[in-house]
């Protein structure tokens, strides 16, 4: 996830006393010209298609990490318009989707039947959630599936996970692995999008780049629920769509069976039609000032 604030337009360095015919977006051509006429700024962005990529913000890299349990995606710097607001992104954006999570086993208790793992992981181990035990040094021939959470509680800086099953010496070592989208079947789609909605205050007007994961066998027709929930009023630019296939036997993503949907393809999301990488002609300079990020 990456947060990017809304841009403003910096007039410093412009020439004073421009000709009256100059199509400046500033109210005055003087020292106080940093006061922008809102109506002119809105007219500027309305010249171009709303909710569009002007240039850049292309998927430059997709890779698997965390023992093929996490997808990492990189977007290039670029410029977009959303809600009639021009936004410059000067650095690459990195997004990650942890499809499966793994946690080293710190301690087990065969009397009370609990595992202990590091950190506060209560949100990842709700009651009745299933998980697995992998990489046991006592029994490396099999992986131990279908453990069920009875209760998870905090223990100082760690989390105790009580189970309905009986823990044996074969389960004392290794790691716990959870399927973060366990109701989604083998196939899934990752939507690379940005969360933005215009607000008057600059401090609250942030662009949040997020990957949304959802089940689908056809990545151009996404009909099931996303995580977090898809809102067509906020997620209006789709930078890329990544289709993956999950190995539910070894709880990892198949490295030879995931692909990126092509640019300009149409995708249907909850009844709304989007063009992947909806892009307009390149432009960079404006009369009246330089576009900067604040």
What's the pLDDT score for residue 88? 83
What's the pLDDT score for residue 17? 43
C-beta atoms surrounding 128 within 10 Å:
8
What's the pLDDT score for residue 18? 45
What's the pLDDT score for residue 31? 44
Which residues are bridge partners to 209 per DSSP?
2, 194
Decide if 161 contacts 149 (C-beta within 8 A): yes
What's the pLDDT score for residue 99? 92
Helix (H, G, I), strand (E, B) or coil at 197: coil
CA dist 35 → 31, 43, 109, 257 (Å):
10, 16, 67, 53
C-beta atoms surrounding 213 within 10 Å:
20
Question: What pLDDT, in 10s, does the model give residues 63-111?
Answer: 999 999 999 999 999 888 887 777 888 899 999 999 999 999 999 999 9
Question: What pLDDT, in 10s, does the model give residues 164-187?
Answer: 988 888 788 889 999 988 776 788
Residue 252 tokens, joined: 């990892």
What's the pLDDT score for residue 254? 92
Helix (H, G, I), strand (E, B) or coil at 39: helix
What's the pLDDT score for residue 93? 92
What's the pLDDT score for residue 80? 85
Mean pLDDT for back-to-back runs of 10 residues, the chain (294 residues): 47 44 48 48 61 87 93 91 81 92 93 95 92 81 81 95 88 88 81 81 74 76 66 84 89 86 76 77 45 36
CA-based radius of gyration for the chain: 25
* Residues recorded for the chain: 294
What is the set of domains in the chain, with CATH numbers?
Answer: 100-179 (2.40.10)
What's the pLDDT score for residue 107? 92
């Amino acid at each position: 996830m990456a947060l990017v604030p809304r841009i403003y337009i910096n007039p410093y360095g412009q020439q004073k006393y421009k000709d009256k015919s100059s199509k400046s977006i500033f109210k005055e051509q003087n020292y106080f010209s940093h006061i922008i006429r809102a109506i002119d700024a809105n007219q500027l962005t309305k010249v171009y298609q709303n909710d569009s990529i002007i240039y850049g913000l292309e998927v430059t890299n997709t890779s698997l990490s965390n023992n093929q349990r996490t997808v990492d995606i990189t977007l290039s710097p670029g410029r977009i318009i959303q809600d009639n607001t021009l936004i410059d992104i000067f650095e690459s954006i990195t997004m990650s989707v942890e499809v499966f999570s793994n946690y080293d086993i710190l301690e087990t208790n065969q009397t009370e039947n609990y595992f202990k793992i590091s950190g506060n992981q209560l949100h990842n181990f709700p009651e009745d959630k299933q998980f697995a035990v992998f990489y046991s040094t006592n029994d490396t021939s099999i992986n131990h599936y279908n453990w069920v959470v009875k209760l998870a509680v905090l223990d100082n800086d760690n989390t105790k996970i009580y189970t309905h099953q009986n823990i044996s010496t074969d389960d004392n070592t290794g790691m716990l692995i959870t399927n973060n989208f366990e109701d989604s079947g083998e196939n899934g789609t990752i939507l690379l999008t940005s969360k933005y909605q215009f607000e008057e205050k600059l401090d609250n007007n942030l662009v949040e780049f997020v990957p949304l994961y959802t089940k689908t066998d056809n990545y151009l027709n996404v009909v099931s629920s996303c995580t977090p929930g898809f809102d067509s009023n906020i997620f209006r630019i789709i930078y890329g769509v990544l289709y993956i296939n999950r190995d539910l036997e070894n709880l990892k993503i198949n490295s030879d069976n995931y692909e990126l949907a092509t640019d300009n393809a149409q995708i249907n999301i909850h009844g709304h039609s989007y063009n992947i990488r909806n892009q307009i002609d390149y432009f960079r300079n404006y009369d009246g000032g330089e576009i900067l990020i604040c």
